[in-house]
């Protein structure tokens, strides 16, 4: 360890610390802001206490948005965590391994493409008249199912969620592939000698041995689902009506279209509390995980 000047380590950390102020100050500022009624153009803030929150908890759009976030979370856990694990387990099976680098790379491709590109591309596929999705449905004789996916308030949120799944399953699968590669091959060899079939091996070796990654994946997906913004913003803008609104898009609209900054801050606080709760569960579980070991 270097000794000498006591100030030296602080000098090294100073630039990082200065930048981190940009992450931390807004968190506290936001809570403070949520106690006022204010807009960007008027200079005075009016202290209203917890009025914004009282209002928020009576706001049907808020509940609609929260419901959509929960829907997002449930569907994402099933498809991304469940689907990702299955895809990874299949790709890591020794019977498939020859081609798995190829499949792996392609499945991961959407992850590196920005959501703006993907969402604009999917507006073509969802297009009611000429979109590929309806064309495919007509080809296979399911004309009756064809509909304006993004323009129908019953399907809009599902169409939005589907795009997220399309992009992200490959990401979680990649995380699971890394985790599965760390499992000792002897476990599988022993099970094979005992005559276990692939399903047994999956449930008795792969699933328990990747438990930690499942936990990480669930946390990542949950956080993603409760902070999602790009997909609904670009695909539907929260509409039709408020049918595909999520907390982040509602926050954005309240702040930058309606210019109700205090109210928008209270939505941000709700997002903060949800993400902090998820992080707390994560920290607690990691702690107990370490005590076990």
Cα–Cα distance between 224 and 116 in angstroms, integer? 16
Question: Does residue 140 interact with another protein by CB under 8 A?
Answer: no
- Least Cβ distance, residue 60 to another protein (angstroms): 21
Of positions 114, 153, 154, 184, contacts another protein by CB under 8 A: 114
CB of 23 to another protein, least distance (A): 5
Per CB under 8 A, contacts with another protein among 78-107 are 87, 90-91, 93, 95-96, 99, 103, 105-107
Which ranges of 93-155 does DSSP label H, i.e. alpha helix?
A: 100-112, 115-126, 132-139
Q: Which is nearer to another protein, 94 or 154 (CB)?
A: 94
Q: Which helix (H) or strand (E) holds 286?
A: helix 261-292
The reply to whether 117 sits near another protein by the rule CB under 8 A is yes
Reference 173, options 100, 117, 263; nearest CA is: 100
Which range in 45-53, 56-64, 141-149, 262-270 contacts another protein by CB under 8 A?
262-270
Residues 223 and 11: their CA atoms lie apart, in Å, by 34
Eight-class DSSP state of 206: I
3-state DSSP assignment of residue 2: coil
Within residues 215-234, the interface with another protein by CB under 8 A covers 216-217, 220, 223, 227, 229-230, 233-234
Q: Write out the binding residues for another protein, residues 31-70 only, by CB under 8 A.
A: 33
**Contact set for another protein, span 181-210 (CB under 8 A):** 198
Stretch in the footprint of another protein (CB under 8 A) among 51-59, 67-75, 163-171, 184-192 = 163-171
Considering the rule CB under 8 A, would residue 158 count as an interface residue with another protein?
no
- Residue pair 40/217 in contact (Cβ under 8 Å)? The answer is no
110, 166 Cβ separation under 8 angstroms: yes
How many residues bind another protein (CB under 8 A)? The answer is 85
Of residues 233 through 252, those in contact with another protein by CB under 8 A are: 233-234, 247-248, 251-252
**Element housing 36 (H / E):** strand 36-37
For 46, the 3-state DSSP assignment is strand
């Amino acid at each position: 360890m270097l000794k000498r000047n006591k100030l030296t380590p602080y000098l090294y950390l100073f630039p990082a610390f200065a930048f981190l102020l940009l992450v931390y100050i807004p968190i506290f500022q936001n809570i403070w802001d949520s106690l006022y009624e204010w807009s960007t153009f008027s200079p005075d803030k009016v202290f209203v206490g917890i009025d914004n929150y009282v209002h928020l908890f009576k706001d049907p759009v808020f509940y609609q948005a929260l419901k959509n976030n929960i829907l997002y979370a449930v569907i994402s856990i099933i498809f991304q965590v469940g689907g990702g694990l299955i895809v990874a387990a299949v790709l890591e099976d020794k019977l498939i391994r020859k081609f798995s680098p190829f499949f792996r790379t392609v499945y991961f491709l959407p992850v590196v493409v920005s959501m703006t590109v993907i969402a604009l591309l999917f507006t073509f596929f969802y297009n009611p008249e000429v979109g590929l999705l309806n064309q495919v449905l007509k080809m296979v004789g399911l004309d009756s199912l064809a509909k304006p996916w993004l323009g129908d308030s019953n399907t809009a949120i599902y169409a939005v969620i589907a795009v997220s799944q399309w992009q992200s399953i490959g990401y979680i699968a990649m995380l699971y592939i890394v985790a599965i590669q760390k499992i000792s091959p002897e476990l599988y060899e022993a099970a094979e000698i005992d005559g276990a079939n692939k399903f047994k091996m999956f449930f008795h070796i792969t699933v328990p041995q990747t438990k930690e990654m499942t936990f990480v994946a669930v946390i990542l997906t949950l956080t993603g689902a409760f902070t999602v913004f790009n997909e609904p913003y670009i695909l539907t803008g929260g509409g039709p009506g408020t049918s595909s609104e999520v907390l982040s898009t509602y926050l954005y609209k309240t702040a930058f279209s309606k210019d109700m900054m205090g109210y928008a801050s209270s939505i941000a606080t709700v997002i903060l509390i949800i993400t902090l709760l998820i992080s707390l569960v994560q920290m607690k579980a990691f702690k107990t995980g370490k005590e076990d070991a």
